[in-house]
Structure 1
Amino acid sequence: MRCSLLSVRFYIILNKHAGSGQAGTLWPQIRQRLVAAQVQYEVVVSEYAQHAVLLSEQFAKRLPDKPRQNWVVLALGGDGTLHEVLNGLSSQHRDYPIPVTYLPIGSGNDFARGAGLSLNWEKALDQVIQCTHATNYDIGTYNETIKKERGVFTNNLGIGFDAAIIAQANQSRSKVWLNRHHLGSLSYLASALSVYYNQSGFTLTVHVGNKRDIYPNAFLVTTTNHPYFGGGVGIAPDANLKDHRLHLVVIEKPNFFKLLWLAMRLVFKKHLTSKSVHYYQAEKLHLTVPAIEYGQLDGEEMGGRFFDVYAGLTSYPFWFDTTI
C-alpha cells in the first residue's frame, strides 16, 4: 500500500489519560506540530475504558472497504490505547484493513520498543507523518472459550505473576507520580515483591501441535509477540514482529533467592537456559489453567478467572517508518 504524504489523513483517537495524563498534556504540542507540517487530521477523544474500541470500530464501519483509501488511524496514548484501537478495527472484516499507528505516550510503551519506533514522541511523530507506505507486522490473536472472549494483542498475553503485578501496579498511587517522571516501569517493580509472596504456583497445560506439557507449579506464563513486557523487560530476546511466531515463556515458581537469580539472568538475557524456565515458539498455542488466576493483555487487566485460551497470529498494516 503506497500513497503520497500529502494525501494521507489521520483519524486520531486521543486518550488524554494515557501515561497518567501525559497524552492530554502533550496534545497541544502534538497538534501544533501537525498543523505546522500541514497534516490533515480528524480527532476524537476516548472518554472511558474500551471507548477507543468503539470509536475505531465506528470509523471502520463508516470508511468504504476499497483499495487506495488514504486514512490512517493514529492512537495517541500507550500500549493499552493501541490495543483498544486495533481490537476495534479488527472486529470489522475488511478486505483492505485501515493502517494503524500510535505515539508511545503510556506507561510501558513496549510495542514501540519491539517495533523500533522511537520512545521520544517528537521523533516518533516524524516517523509517522513522514512514512510513505504501510508495513505488515505480526499481531497475536486469542480466543478464550470459557468467557467467550476473542480479539488481538500487539505485545503479550500473560497469566499469573506478571498479570498480578499489573493488577496491583494499576491500583498503586505511586504509578501516577512515576509516569509523570518517565519512570513508569518502576511501578511494576515496586509491586513485584508483594505479589511474589501472594502468588501461588498453579497448574498449566500447554498444547503445541500434538505435544502436551503439564506444569503443576507454573508461576509466570507469557505469550509474547516481540521481546518486551512490563516496560522494557526482555522476556523473549529473540522474538520479533516479523518472525511469524508466538513466543511462550513459562516460569515455575522459584524460591525467593532463585527469583533474584532469575531476575539477574533476565537483565542479561540468559534466563531461558534456566531449569525452571520453559520456552516455546509456535504459530498456535493452547493454554489451560483450571484455577482462578490474573490475566493481562497488552498490560490491560483481564481479571481473575479460569483460562482455556487459544492463541495464534495474524498480520496487520502499521504506518510508521523506523528508518527515519
Structure 2
Amino acid sequence: MKYYYHIIVNPASGSGRGSKVAQRIKKTLDKHHFAYQFYHTAHAGEERQTTQKLLKETLLPWDEAYIENSDMLYPLLVVIGGDGTLHQVVSEVQQISEQQFPVAYIPAGSGNDFARSLDFPKEPEKVFWQIAGTNRPQALTVIHYHEQIQDDSGIAINNVGIGLDAAIVYAANHSAAKSNLNKFNMGSFSYIAAILNVLFRQKGFPILVECNGQQLSFSKAFLCTTTNHPYFGGGVAIAPTATIKDNKLDFVLVERVAMFKIFWLILLLLRKKHMKSRYFHHISTAKLRIISTIPQHGQEDGEEMGERPFDLTLTTTKQLFWC
C-alpha cells in the first residue's frame, strides 16, 4: 500500500519536542519522496478542529479492499504530539460512530504512556518506518465513559482518574511556575512539585464501585484510576497485568493510609510489587460504575474534568490504530 500522510503536529508537546520530532520526520519524508501534508497546531483545541475538517473532506474509512489497490494513495491520519494531543484526535474520530477511521501515532510528549503500552521504539524515525511498513490497522481498546450527573461522555486512550492523580494534574496545570519552567524545557519540575504538594494534602474520600455483579464500598479512597494498559503518570506501571489488546478495563484503587505507609506503597509501586499490598485494590472488568458523592478532582488522559461529585460508567470500545 501507498499512503498520503496527513500529519497533525502539536509543536509545543513535550516542552517543544513535538516541533523537533516533526522536523526529523519531514527529513525522512522528503528524502524518500513520500506524499504528505503537515498541520501544525497553534492553540489548544486546534487538533480537534483540524481532525474534524479532515474527516469531512479528506480521510476515508478503512476497508480491507484498499490493501489490493496499489494505484491509490490512502489518506492516512498521523499524530505527532503527546498523549493529550492523541486523546483530542481520537476523541474527534470516535464521534463518527458508524465508520472506523485509523489513526497513526508518533509520540513526542513528556509521558508517552500510550506508546509505552505498545512498546514503540524511542526513535521517531523507527516509529515512522513501522507505520510505513504496516498494511492494515489494529483494533485496540480505548475507554468510553459517561458521567451521569452532568450528562457528560468522552473517550480516554490511557486512563480516567478521580482523587490523587487528578488533583496532581490540576495542581501542575495551575502552577504559577509551570509556564516559566516550560521555556527552559523543565516542565517536569512543576509536575514533581505538584506531586509533593498534593501528596500531603489529599484526603481519603468515600466511593462506591459496581462491577462484575458486585458492589464494593471504600471509605478512604486516595487514588482511583481506571486504565486500559499498565501505565500512567509517565511510565508508572500502576496495573502491570493490564493490556491494551484485550477487551477489559483495569480498575485500581489505593486507600488513604498514614504518610509513612504511603511512601512504602510508592516504593512497592516502583518495584512493581504493590499489588500484594492490602491497601491496593485491583479489578479487571468489562464495565464499571464509580460513584463519588464528595467533590473530587477528575482527569481523563491528563485533561481536567473539574472538581465535582462523579457518577461514572466506564466501558470499552475499539479504535483502529495504524501500528
Residue aligning to 1:71? 75
| In structure 2, distance between residues paired with 1:65 and 1:174 | 40
| In structure 1, distance between residues paired with 2:269 and 2:45 | 33
Residue aligning to 2:86? 82
Matching residue within 309, 312, 319 for 1:316: 319
Change in CA separation of 1:200 and 1:64 when aligned onto 2, cut-off 3 Å? same
| In structure 2, distance between residues paired with 1:176 and 1:265 | 33
Change in CA separation of 1:177 and 1:129 when aligned onto 2, cut-off 3 Å? farther
| In structure 1, distance between residues paired with 2:44 and 2:288 | 28
Percent sequence identity over aligned pairs? 36
Residue aligning to 1:202? 205
| In structure 1, distance between residues paired with 2:15 and 2:233 | 16
- In the alignment of these two chains, the number of paired residues is 313
CA contact (8 A) 1:291 1:306 kept: yes
Q: What letter corresponds to residue 244 of structure 1 in structure 2?
A: N
Query: Larger deviation: 165-174 or 296-305?
Result: 165-174
Residue aligning to 2:19? 24
Q: Secondary structure at the match of 2:33?
A: coil
| In structure 1, distance between residues paired with 2:302 and 2:62 | 33
Alignment of 1:131-150 (within 5 A): 131-150=134-153
1:37 aligns with 2:32: yes
- TM-score, length-scaled by structure 2: 0.90
1:120 Cα deviation from its structure 2 partner: 2.6
Residue aligning to 2:113? 110
Show structure 1 runs of 5+ residues with no match. none
| In structure 2, distance between residues paired with 1:145 and 1:54 | 27
Change in CA separation of 1:227 and 1:180 when aligned onto 2, cut-off 3 Å? farther
Q: Secondary structure at the match of 2:243?
A: coil
Alignment of 1:262-281 (within 5 A): 262-281=265-284
Residue aligning to 1:125? 128
Alignment of 1:256-267 (within 5 A): 256-267=259-270
1:143 Cα deviation from its structure 2 partner: 0.9
1:145 Cα deviation from its structure 2 partner: 1.7
Change in CA separation of 1:265 and 1:118 when aligned onto 2, cut-off 3 Å? same
1:266 Cα deviation from its structure 2 partner: 0.3
Residue aligning to 2:239? 236
| In structure 2, distance between residues paired with 1:163 and 1:156 | 11
Residue aligning to 2:71? none
Change in CA separation of 1:194 and 1:171 when aligned onto 2, cut-off 3 Å? same
Change in CA separation of 1:66 and 1:138 when aligned onto 2, cut-off 3 Å? closer
1:142 Cα deviation from its structure 2 partner: 0.8
Query: Larger deviation: 127-136 or 147-156?
Result: 127-136
CA contact (8 A) 1:185 1:231 kept: no
Q: What letter corresponds to residue 80 of structure 2 in structure 1?
A: L
Matching residue within 42, 48, 56 for 2:43: 48
| In structure 1, distance between residues paired with 2:173 and 2:129 | 31
How big is each residue's C-alpha offset from its partner over 1:136-175, in whole Å with a ceiling of 9 and x where there is no partner? Answer: 2111111112222212111100111011112222334358
Show structure 2 runs of 5+ residues with no match. 67-73
Residue aligning to 2:155? 152
1:187 Cα deviation from its structure 2 partner: 4.6
| In structure 1, distance between residues paired with 2:254 and 2:299 | 16
| In structure 1, distance between residues paired with 2:27 and 2:180 | 26
CA contact (8 A) 2:24 2:125 kept: no
Matching residue within 175, 193, 196 for 2:196: 193
| In structure 2, distance between residues paired with 1:150 and 1:65 | 23
Query: Larger deviation: 31-40 or 197-206?
Result: 31-40
Q: What letter corresponds to residue 99 of structure 1 in structure 2?
A: P
| In structure 2, distance between residues paired with 1:187 and 1:121 | 26
- TM-score, length-scaled by structure 1: 0.90
Residue aligning to 2:309? 306
1:235 Cα deviation from its structure 2 partner: 0.1
Change in CA separation of 1:187 and 1:117 when aligned onto 2, cut-off 3 Å? farther
Q: What letter corresponds to residue 35 of structure 1 in structure 2?
A: D
| In structure 2, distance between residues paired with 1:180 and 1:101 | 30
Change in CA separation of 1:285 and 1:175 when aligned onto 2, cut-off 3 Å? farther
CA contact (8 A) 2:113 2:233 kept: yes
1:8 aligns with 2:3: yes
Q: Secondary structure at the match of 1:8?
A: strand
Q: Secondary structure at the match of 1:16?
A: coil
